[in-house]
Chains A and B, each alone.
Chain A
Amino acid sequence: MDIKGQMSLEFIIMVGLILVIVLSVASAFGDDIELTQAMGAARSGAINGANMNSFAFYPETAFNNYTSQNPSLINPSNVKIIEINYKNYGYNATYNKTRIQIRITASTPSVKNSDDRNSIGDRINFYVRKSICESFGTSNLTNKLYNPVLSNRYIFTTADVKWV
């Protein structure tokens, strides 16, 4: 019984030590994990935004705006996300976090008009920010355009979509 008791005690101490080590390691890698999570969410958001333009299905308000201002967007267009990268702007004293700007590179050969492209780009960026915000559960810390998006360590913004 004593032997079994000692085994359990050793085991508990071991688990406790390992837990402390793992948590300290996780904390050290926390910045990277958070950034990876944000970039993963950004990718999902970008695909989501591009899909809406590809299928030409929009929220009703946007649909009505496009009907009067960008009628060509009512037709499906081929929108492809080429690249998603980010630029680290360093520590931001206002938010007490590191500022990251995400830039999407996309192509849409069927849409030539720059105003239409801006509208598509704005939609993609909106869903990128929304997706990041939802992934961190910080919708209550931002405005209805999800600009900027906050996480524990970062503040995320989006640059205009680069069209190639």
Chain B
Amino acid sequence: MDNKGILTVELIFVTLLLIIVISSLIPIINDRMNTASQTDDLGTARMLAENIAETVNKVYTGGNGHSITFNMPENINRKNYEATVNSTGAYVKIDGMIGKSFTAPHKISSSSELKNEKVTLLKGQNYTIKNVEDSDGYNWIVIVSE
């Protein structure tokens, strides 16, 4: 009976010590998990920006008539995001953070009317990115939803 009692006392002592140690570790573990999750989000957002910029550059260098279809993801790790393209690069915004991937400078339009503008790419949409030459011989990037 005494032996059992001693075992219990040790167990209680160790358990209480463990509770104190673990309780001080919980905020750190929580912090690390948040950091890992944010790293994942930012990495995916960066890849999306790079892919958009790369596609625009490919279409531009492909010359008049060259086009590529680009599929926008529904979300980034289940999070909302915004993507835009202007004449200097592709921007992705997520969780209040914004990043840019540079493209070679060229005019961008969202219609065949060829107005230089910032084009917003909507989530889950498919876009045709096309190289169009205007009457003055300038090449435009036209981005239209399919």
Contacts and interface: CB of A to CB of B under 8 A. Distances in A.
A95 interface: no
Interface of A: 10-11, 14-15, 18-19, 21-22, 25-26, 33, 36-37, 40-41, 44-45, 47-48, 51-52, 55-60, 63, 67, 74-76, 131, 134-135
Contacts, number: 86
Interface in B82-105: 93-94, 96-100, 102
**Which of A41, A44, A52, A135 counts the most B-chain CB atoms under 10 A from its CB?**
A44
Contacts of B20: 22, 26, 33
A33 B31 CA distance: 16
Contacts of B46: 55-57, 76
22 contacts: A14-B8, A22-B17, A33-B24, A44-B31, A44-B32, A44-B35, A45-B31, A48-B35, A51-B35, A56-B46, A57-B46, A57-B98, A58-B98, A58-B99, A60-B96, A60-B97, A63-B100, A67-B100, A74-B99, A131-B31, A135-B27, A135-B28
B9 A14 contact: yes
Contacts of B12: 14-15, 18
B9 A52 contact: no
B24 A59 contact: no
B92 to A, nearest CB: 8
